[in-house]
Structures are given as C-alpha cells and as structure tokens.
Chain A
Amino acid sequence: MPEEAISLDNPAERLNEEMLIRRIRNGEHEFFYELIRPYERRVYSTAFAILRNEADAEDVAQEAILKAFKHIWQFRAEARFSTWLISITVNEARMRRRREHAEIMQPIADHQDEEGNYTPRDFADWREIPSETLERSEVRQKLAEALASLGQKYREVFVLRDVQHLSIEETAKALGVSTASVKTRLLRARLMLRDLLAPGLGGNWSSKLSFAKGTKPW
C-alpha cells in the first residue's frame, strides 16, 4: 500500500544531502540553495495547511527555511533532512497561529473525544478518481476547502502523513505526539475528508456540498 511509495528515500540522494550539509557547515553557504530546492514546495504547503492563508504561509515558509540555515549545525544525521525541515515549519506555523489567533476558539472537532468511534455519514460509492480530476481548479479548491474545515490537530496529522508523506513515527515526532495519537487522528481526518468529498467526487460537483462555509457535519 502507500508504505512502499512513502518512507524509503533514495540513499544516493541522502548521501548527496550529507555532503551538502557538511559543505554548508564549513562556510560554503551557497550550497544551501541546492539543499532546500527539492523541499521548497513542501515547506510552503505545510505552512499553508496549518495557516490556511497564502501570505502567512509564504512568510512562515521563509522563516522556517532561514531558521534551518541558521541552525544547520543542530541537524542530526539520524533524521531525514526533510523531516527536520518540516518539523521546523510546523513549529513556526504553530507559533504564528498562536500569536494571531490566540483568542479564537478551536473548532469543536478539536474537543471531541479522540478515542470515540467515527461513523461515516455517506456511503456513496466512489471507486474511481478520474485522472484529470486535479486539472480542474474547482476540484483543487474543494479539496483545499475540505481540508481547511478540519480541526487543526486533524489537519496537521493529515498534512504531514498524507500530503508530505512522512511516516507515522516521523509525523509523531514532528508534532510532539504519540504514534497512537497520530493513528487515531489520521483515521478521523481521512474519514471526515472522505465524507466531505465523496458526494462530489463520486457523483457530480453540482450537488450541494455539505462543507459550505460555517457548517461542520461532525
């Protein structure tokens, strides 16, 4: 299943990264651009998924990458560089969020019992994804809206695991939670998203979507 596609990184790439990191630490700073090039988009999308706002996401992505540069000597080789970079991004984004949304109440979903069973609401058969689905900007928009409507703790886990393809252990480490929590939240996040998207993607988008602004079906 997704497993093979996900957590194995290319050993040659990793070796190259180690070499780049060594050179950057030795003062050849220009190699930092090469080191981060493959991850720029991932840093941005992580920040965006947490902040749900382009301008903030870009600013936080820059901050996170700059921080990675300044603290490159703290990076430990036993972790993947990408995981380390994503963890920094998560922290930066959370800090920004706390600063700017300190008074805003968390969505109700965040207070729900994590152990409680989630019952799917929609049993529409949705067996095929048309290959051109993502070409349509309105589809991408619906996906972004659905993800944005999840509570933060579900969104964070889903983004790291299913958008950034971190392993369950790496996700747990990046977020500072247990692997059991990651699994529980991931289950909910995936099922909630399926409920939100199945009617549209399984049938047609003209049917009224239940995740219109302000409504939360769970």
Chain B
Amino acid sequence: MVMSCAEVWREISNYLDGEVAPDLRAAMEEHLHGCQKCSAILEGTQNVIGLYGEDRMFEPPLGFSQRLHRRLEENMPHQKGTAFGWLVAVAAALLIVGSFEVGDSSAFVRPQLRSEHAQPGNGVPAEMMVIVAEDGKTFHAAGCPFIHDKARLRTMPASQALREGYTPCVRCMKKYLTENARYDADDDDDGDFISSAGQASK
C-alpha cells in the first residue's frame, strides 16, 4: 500500500496511540522512512505529547492543598455525630431483638446483676405465674405479704410481667435473684455483689 502525505497525517495520532492495524502501520512506516516532512511532523507531535504529559506542566498555585483541606474540613460531617448515629441504630436493633427473647424460657437472656433493684428479672422462670397490682411496680408470688392494692390484681406469666415493666419483688422472688447473684460472684471471684446485696437487704 502506498500512502500519500495527507493520508499519513490523518492517522498520525492513532499511530502514536497504537490504534492502527498492523498493515496500515507498516505502510505508514514505509512512507515515514522516505519522507522528511512527515517524519518531522510525527516527531514533533510526539514531542508535544511528551511535553504536556510532564507532571510539572500545570503547577497548582502555592497553598492550594492547604486551602483544599481546610474547605474539606469545614464541610465534613462530625465524626462523633456519625458514630452516635450508628450506636443509636445498634441499640434500637438490640432492643427489638431483646423484646423477642424475653418470651423464651428464662426471663432475661444472661444475668448481668449488680443490684437486685436495678436489673431484677434474672433467673425468674418465664412461665411461672405471678401476681401484679395494676398501679404497682413489682410482681409477686401468690400469697406474698407485700402485694399492694389487693383489689386490682392480675395473674400472668413472669415473662409478660417483665414485658409490661414490672420488676420482681425482692422478698418473695429473692431466691431466684440470690441464685443468680451467686452465679455471678463465682464467675468473677470478687464477691462484691454478695456484700452489696447484703447491705441492700438490711
């Protein structure tokens, strides 16, 4: 294939980008070999690409990076806000999961007792029938002398009483709470709970 100068010019850019078919490339190279004009253009074009491709061609003005970072800082949401958002979401998810688990065999999943007043549901069998007073805060075993308003009582499983926000009576439900306390105390081997529980019951 014999190429004219104009045909070579048309493909010179593709040639430099390696975008021409092998036979066209061969024909171009043959032409370039014998044509001073075209090889001057080829090399000049190559020089243009080389010069503009240099990294230092377009220098940003002094302080560009610092100003950019300052602007970013001003516009980024605060880290704490985002982390807090995640915590809220996780806590909400745990609450939902927790409320399903209450209905299972034991009233709460895992004893975390440090005071029988604070976290009182541990160890109370979920199915055990208990008595609550409509305006009271605690649930009781039948016959417990600490049942408040004897006229408005309801009987329900312990799990439901817990769901409704009642806490076990520290007197009649004591044995369940104490068992859990022992379990915890053995676990950490520090005996803290026993002594504080002792004070609380005095």
Contacts and interface: CB of A to CB of B under 8 A. Distances in A.
A126 B54 contact: no
A115 B95 CA distance: 68
Interface string B190-202: 0000000000000
21 contacts: A1-B17, A2-B18, A2-B49, A2-B53, A3-B18, A27-B82, A28-B79, A29-B79, A40-B60, A40-B64, A54-B61, A58-B64, A61-B64, A65-B72, A69-B76, A134-B57, A144-B57, A168-B17, A168-B19, A194-B41, A202-B44
B13 A33 contact: no
Contacts of A215: none
B45 A191 contact: yes
Given A27-B83, A187-B12, A198-B44, A58 B49 contact: no
Contact of B14 (A120, A124, A187): A187
Contacts of A143: 51-52, 57
A95 interface: no
Interface residues of A, dominant DSSP: helix
A23 interface: no
Interface string A20-44: 0000000111101100000011001
Interface residues of B, number: 46
Contacts of B64: 40, 44, 58, 61
A96 interface: no
B86 interface: yes
Interface in B153-175: none
Given A187-B14, A190-B48, A58 B61 contact: yes
Contact of B58 (A28, A49, A117): A49
Interface of A: 1-3, 27-30, 32-33, 40-41, 44-45, 48-49, 54, 58, 61-62, 65-66, 69, 117-120, 123-127, 129, 133-134, 140, 143-144, 147, 158, 162-163, 165, 168, 183, 186-187, 190-191, 193-194, 197-198, 201-202
A168 B18 CA distance: 11
A90 B10 CA distance: 28
Contacts of B34: none
Interface string B94-108: 000000000000000
